[in-house]
Amino acid sequence: MAGSSLDYLGITELSELIAARRLSPVELIEAHIARIERLDPRLKAFARFSPEDALAHAVVLEQELAAGHIRGPLHGIPLALKDLFWHKGKRTAAGTVIHRDFQPPLDATVVGRLREAGANLIGSAQMTEGAFANHLPPVEPPVNPWRADHWPGASSSGSGVAVAAGLVPGSLGTETGGSIHLPSAVNGVTGLKPTWGRVSRFGVFELAATLDTVGPMARSAEDAAVLLGVIAGPDPQDATAARVAVPDYRAGLEPGPLDIRIGLDQDYAFAGTDEVTVAAVTAAIEVLGTLGAEIVDIRFPDVTDMVADWFPVTAVQAAVAHEATFPARRAEYGADLADLIDRGRALSGMDYQRLILRRLDFRGRVEALFDEVDLIVLPVLGISDTTSSRMAHLDDDLITAVHKFTCPFTMSGNPALTLPCGLTEANTPVAFQFVGRHFDERLVLRAGHAFQSVTDWHRRRPLP
């Protein structure tokens, strides 16, 4: 098949072509290598690109296919991984200067699981320093393929850009405060932040251990379901990976009416949210009604403390994550990450205990809402004007607009699925999200799949 006809196919579509012997793993990887070589010098989505390794692996996968052995729906599928997942012997810098020459001695658990499932890992996606706020020179920020002057998202920016531009059909990102939500939203892709503990963090650079969550970024909820099914589950190398059964997420995307109760707090969702976002999210909610969902008025707990507390909680945990190199090698850190760690090192134990107690109280209040509803629907960003110049100058109002729909759910640990639902007049994406009960990713994905079955926002393309 011609490379251009493959660029925007999703994981499940490509998998079906491979299984039917209408597409070979070698043809597929060659097409993606050619597209990356053509577009990535401008888009800067990749921190490390390994075409020779990927092509050699595709030959092995093609030989397996010829012998009648197919490993599953990821067999031969090109993927990118955010540049903080250990990949044995491959440089993994986590967007930093201090780790720029680090070559892991073994694979992260999720990397091993993807490789065993037949995925072809073509390279590492670019990211911010240490998964915090900014790209540290000499790293150049990835370029949003919808508009070059728009923000590419937070720390998983390279993953979002790579999927949106058709460089790969899927990627893994991580979220600590919004770094799956936000790059998925601004790049127009589907991103899942699973429940904290659903996916192993072994071999993943830490920012804040009790917040960091590994999740898929892809073209659709169905593709995210495939990826989550491979990477989820307990791990003897990470005792915090929950010993909770992993369902067949893709099989759970059964057709039929969406006979569920979806909660909406209009004050939380829409007060202070710009008109473009309100209109797009309202239209998405109307679609959910036509699918059979009952939209229920709810009162969501006040998120003010959780947005404010996210920073000191992250700061303390980042200080622990970096204690081997900070402050001893402070000169190799960027100002923003260094300031965050300083803040964490200065916080008292009593102040941190207050943060813990507020977080536990908030988590309990969110949990109680799911006695009334099955899912909660919200915007992802309170603003649709996300030019890079605007996002480079954060004030208190802008910080709230960026974090009010993301940080609360890393603080509570709930799963959340970001879905494209519109375009601005500037032709940049707008998104909404479903939030679910802990470990109920299956329902979150089912609702997302139902929405995408009757809409085409996730199929819009930024580039030829």
119-145 pLDDT, tens digit each: 999 999 999 999 998 999 999 999 999
Region 97-110: what's the mean pLDDT? 96
Quick one: tokens of 117?
A: 């499932």
Question: Tokens at residue 238, please?
Answer: 């990470």
pLDDT at position 114 over 80: yes
Residue 398 tokens, joined: 């802008």
Q: Return the number of other C-beta atoms located less than 10 Å from residue 312's C-beta.
A: 18
Q: What is the pLDDT of residue 226?
A: 98
Query: What local confidence, expressed as pLDDT, does residue 28 receive?
Result: 98
Question: Average pLDDT of 302-314?
Answer: 96
Strand partners, 217: 171, 191
Active-site residue set: 82, 155, 179
pTM listed for this prediction: 0.97
**Predicted pLDDT at 290:** 97
Task: State how far Cα 394 lies from the chain centre.
Answer: 22
Q: Is the pLDDT confidence value at 330 over 90? A: yes
Distance, CA of 193 to CA of 6 (rounded, Å): 27
Question: With helix as H, strand as E and coil as C, how does 47-116 read?
Answer: EEECHHHHHHHHHHHHHHHHCCCCCCCCCCCEEEEECCECCCCCCCCCCCCCCCCCCCCCCCHHHHHHHH
Report the chain's C-alpha Rg in angstroms.
Answer: 21
- Look at residue 168 in the predicted model and tell me its pLDDT: 98
pLDDT score recorded for residue 349: 97
Q: Any idea of the CA torsion for 382, 386, 389, 394, to the nearest 10 degrees? A: 20
- Residue 405 tokens read as 């729909």
Percent of the chain clearing pLDDT 70 (strictly above)? 99
Residue with tokens 């998405």: 284
**How do residues 225-283 score in pLDDT, each as one tens digit?**
999 999 999 999 999 999 999 999 999 998 889 999 999 999 999 999 999 999 999 99
Strands of 219-301 (E only): list them. Answer: 261-264, 294-297
Token representation of residue 285: 């909610």
Tell me the average pLDDT of the chain: 96
Q: Which two tokens stand for residue 435?
A: 């939030």
Percent of the chain, pLDDT > 90? Answer: 93
Tell me the mean pLDDT in the region 361-373: 98
* Confidence band of 5 (pLDDT split at 50, 70, 90): confident
d(Cα 76, Cα 15) in Å, to the nearest integer?
Answer: 8
464 prior amide bond cis, ω within 30: no
